[in-house]
Amino acid sequence: MKFTCNTYELERALTSAERFTGKNLTLPVLGSVLLEVRGEKLCLTATNLEYAIQITVEGSGSKEGRVCVPAKVASSFLQSVREDTILLEERQGNLEIKTSARETRVNGVSAEDFPLIPTIKAAHSFSVNGFEFKRGIERVLPAVSFSEFKPELSGVYCKITPHEGRVAATDTFRLAEQLIGPGAGLKETVSFILPYRLAQEFVRVAGDAAELAVVLGENQILFKFGPVNIISRLVEGNFPEYQAIIPKKLETSCYLKKDELMNAVRTSSIFSSKLQDVGVCIKSKEAEITSSNQEVGDFKTIIPAAVSGNEVMVHFNYRYLLDGLNVVDEDEFYLGLNGDNSPSIIKNKNDTSFTYIISPIHIS
């Protein structure tokens, strides 16, 4: 193979591909990326057997072929290259990289040992707004469970209909849901659960993709956007029907400044007990944030709030509370409560498409 292309485009593609490699003592080839020249395009492929990525780079190909090299070595080297144009050439299973100032050889591994990327037999094909889908996953990721006993909670749940879409995650202590646009081309409702790590990498790679094409097969999914294809297995199981736990009526409603509450909660966490709890007391025109630890001391601060409804005192896990506040993207947000035994709800003040439900801690 022989191929010339823009250094920056190749480096960016290799960096993304490296994230999809795996570490496997019995299959060391999983730590490599496969480079294939097909006409005027270079296709980079990486996989860890759970999910895979294929990225196309435009350029000038004078000889077709393929070579497989360690992803970390190739990616690290390209990050040091300053020349705009780079030449790649395969020689005896190795990759020679040339610029106007450098000549480098990266020892290859057998391309024949590289795993085949499965072809998905499509059961459903549709497209969604790429930006909305990415933002939805990004917002709900903190609520994903890491329990091995409930694998259906170990990923991001997606439910797409011809009229709307929902992205959600829960670990039973909190729930996050983001509404997104409908699935264009769908005639019926589809749902699936993306593995947590795949969802993480998708957010990093997706960029500002305006349109995201989705192909669903039997326990597999394919995402297409720009020059990128991502293929993954799906999490098996049925995601719980969570709509019933979202409060429909609220006894106490208040609006607070996001930065003020986050600062108060972070400071309060210094004095939190082993339960990692902070107290939130909502009064007529203020919120009182407290914490207490016999070994460290006590803390109390008051921040202004616009309140309607009953006075209430609730204890939250401060980490879970901060996770919810971190993904609220307006300066002022809504907090709704139903006493100290029922879940509370966090939303943006204006954009109500995102919902974060957090259960209180019961202090004896």
Query: Helices (H), strands (E): how many in the chain?
Result: 6, 25
Q: Of the candidates 237, 158, 160, 162, which has an alpha carbon nearest to the alpha carbon of residue 192?
A: 158
pLDDT recorded at residue 25: 72
pLDDT recorded at residue 346: 97
Q: Of the candidates 151, 12, 2, 132, which has an alpha carbon nearest to the alpha carbon of residue 62?
A: 2
The three-point CA angle 244-141-318 to 5° equals 80
Burial code (b: 16+ CB inside 10 Å, e: under 16) for 311-337 equals: ebbbbbbbebbbbbbebbeeeebbbbb
Contact by Cβ (8 Å): 232, 50: yes
Contact by Cβ (8 Å): 75, 63: no
List pLDDT tens digits, range 151-190.
Answer: 999 999 999 999 999 999 999 999 999 999 999 999 999 9
pLDDT recorded at residue 170: 96
For 78, which DSSP code? Answer: H
How many angstroms separate the CA atoms of 185 and 330, rounded? 33
For the chain, list residues with pLDDT below 50.
none
List pLDDT tens digits, range 7-53.
Answer: 999 999 999 999 999 988 788 999 999 999 999 999 999 999 999 99
pLDDT recorded at residue 364: 66
Contact by Cβ (8 Å): 232, 194: yes
pLDDT recorded at residue 362: 86
Q: What is the value of pTM for the model shown?
A: 0.92
Contact by Cβ (8 Å): 63, 37: yes
State how far the alpha carbon of 58 is from the alpha carbons of 7, 42, 197, 320, in Å: 11, 7, 28, 44
List all residues 6 or more positions away from 45 whose beta carbon is below 8 Å from its beta carbon.
Answer: 17, 33, 34, 36, 52, 53, 54, 114, 117
